[in-house]
Amino acid sequence: MLISLKSITKKFPHSSGEVIAVDNVSLDVDKGESILLIGPSGSGKTTLLNMIAAIETPTSGQYEFNGNSVPYGNIDAMTRFRRENIGYIFQTFNLIRDLTALENVALVQELSGKVDLDAAKDCLRQVGLDGMENRFPFELSGGQQQRIAIARSMAKNPKVLLADEPTGNLDEKTTHEVFQTLVEMCKKNSITIIVVSHDLSLSKYTSKIIEMRSGKTVDKS
């Protein structure tokens, strides 16, 4: 088992009492699985992804990754854990404006300790951006920018890719193209992916659907 969550709960303090964002969730994810995470706004999807990424610490529960406890509470160890294992595509692309497509991808390699421009170019080629390496984000369409974000998240070859509504701002046709590229790239590179979307029609590309409701998960597959 790659990801094993046991009774994970996340509560946030709030002026009118506390919010239970994730409520006693247990979840096992095998290596190579592709999971579509759906659910209404506010149901806890982003919070769950952030705990899997060790960006946020659960209020209670256990999380094992590849058989090891995730080092919540130790900031340096959590950073190392993320660097070694986790790729994350945020809903807002988070591209650096003053860097070209290639430089945006290479930056992630630099942060994880090893720049390999040929591999970075190959990632861009795999998402269909061959020949656009030297363009800046503002010289590209929304769908193309999102493809850079995908290439960037692949460039360090993570074990898990977490994607939070990576196609949220795209039209229907581009959504399907980008989503399919994303899942296929993961399959080809043996990367496990958990991707959030409101679009149930995307489930044809993934191996499993998990739905969140009021902080709890419902296995739909």
Applying CB under 6 A, the residues found at the interface with ligand ATP are 12, 14, 19, 21, 39, 41-47
Nearer to Mg ion, 46 or 153 (CB): 46
Which residues are registered as beta bridge partners of 30? none
Write down the least CB distance from residue 22 to Mg ion, Å. Answer: 12
Q: What are the backbone angles phi and psi of residue 212, rounded to the nearest 5°?
A: -105, 140
User: Taking the complex as a whole, how short is the minimal distance between the CB of residue 165 and Mg ion, in angstroms?
Assistant: 7
CB of 94 to ligand ATP, least distance (A): 16
Least distance from ligand ATP to the Cβ atom of residue 48, Å: 7
* 153 binding partner (options Mg ion, ligand ATP, none; Cβ < 5 to 8 Å by kind): none
Contact 164, 39 (CB under 8 A): no
Chain residues 25-64 in contact with Mg ion, contact rule CB under 5 A: 46
Q: Please report how close the Cβ of residue 200 comes to ligand ATP at its closest, in angstroms.
A: 14
- CB nearer to Mg ion: give 188 or 198: 198
Q: Strands, DSSP E only, in the chain?
A: 3-14, 17-29, 34-38, 60-65, 68-69, 86-89, 160-164, 192-196, 208-213, 216-219
Residue 34, phi then psi, degrees to nearest 5:
-125, 120
Which does residue 145 bind out of ligand ATP, Mg ion, none, counting CB within 5 to 8 angstroms by kind? none
- The first and second tokens of residue 72, run together, are 């919540």
Structure tokens at 14: 């709030």
Residue whose CB is less far from Mg ion, 46 or 126: 46
197 binds Mg ion (CB under 5 A): no
Among Mg ion, ligand ATP, none, the one that 58 touches (CB under a kind-dependent 5 to 8 A) is none
Indicate the residue among 153 and 217 with the shorter CB distance to ligand ATP: 217
Burial 68-82 (b: 16+ CB within 10 A, else e): eebbbeeeeebeebb
Q: What gap in Å lies between CA 166 and CA 193, rounded to an integer?
A: 12
Q: Return the number of the residue (57 or 92) whose C-beta is nearest Mg ion.
A: 92
The position carrying tokens 């390699």 is 109
Helix (H) or strand (E) holding 204, with range, is none
Q: Which residues bind Mg ion (CB under 5 A)?
A: 46
